[in-house]
Amino acid sequence: MLIRDYRAADWDSIARIHDAARLDELRDTVGVEAFLTLAQTAENEGLFDGRLWVAEDDGVAEDDGAVAGFVALDDDEVTWLYVDPARYRRGVGRALLRHAVASAGPSVEVSVLDGNAAAIALYRSEGFRIEETKTGSLAGNESFPATGHLMRRHQP
């Protein structure tokens, strides 16, 4: 797997990945009724405010070089992390997270929706701990209520 800087030519791939994975995320949290596409949310939610990387999965013969996921880091916050649902549980998310954490400072944070068990488990396995839980509006679609966890990892 290769993790590299995002290029404009990656847009269609990351939009497809986000839109599919976001539905999975919302299904287990606030409901799919809250879904908005990446095209609808990227600018307002600051996708390009910090660093953005994509993972290319070179181990899948039929998709050599295909974008398998993406991660964004703004200051010391992981702001986006999505993996192609066809590649869940193959280490793509972990590799992207580790790449972002290595580029951050000594303390890294991420916000995760309550009910997103897979994401919470991934972050916990990488040393993140829940430090705060809040209920308010869903980021990106403020007309829906949501509960989220602020998780933080302090590097040794």
Q: Tell me which residue has tokens 């409901």.
A: 31
Interval 49-71 mean pLDDT = 82
List 67's β-bridge partners, or say none: 56
| Per-residue pLDDT, 76 | 96
Which token pair is 20? 């599919």
> Is 140 a residue whose pLDDT tops 90?
no
Local structure of 39: helix, strand or coil: helix
Beta carbons of 87 and 69 less than 8 angstroms apart? yes
Residues 6+ apart with CB under 8 A from 64: 58
- Smallest CA-to-CA distance from 101 within 46, 57, 154, 22 is with 154
State the DSSP H helix or E strand holding residue 113, giving kind and residue range, or none if neither: strand 107-113
Residues 6+ apart with CB under 8 A from 156: none
Share of the chain above pLDDT 70, in %: 96
Interval 112-136 mean pLDDT = 97
pTM for the predicted model, two decimal places: 0.93
**pLDDT digits 0-9 by tens, 2-38:** 999 999 999 999 999 999 999 999 999 999 999 999 9
pLDDT band for position 104 (cuts 50, 70, 90): very high
Residues 6+ apart with CB under 8 A from 153: 101, 107, 108, 109, 123, 126, 127, 128, 129
Interval 56-73 mean pLDDT = 77
Q: Which of 36-40, 58-62, 148-152 has the lowest mean pLDDT?
A: 58-62
Going from the C-alpha of 130 to that of each of 99, 113, 124, 147, 153, the distances in angstroms are: 21, 11, 8, 13, 9
> Is 103 a residue whose pLDDT tops 90?
yes
Beta carbons of 77 and 110 less than 8 angstroms apart? yes
Interval 40-68 mean pLDDT = 84
**What CATH number should be reported for the domain holding residue 139?**
3.40.630.30
Number of domains in the chain: 1
Structural domain boundaries, residue 32 = 2-154
Interval 141-153 mean pLDDT = 96
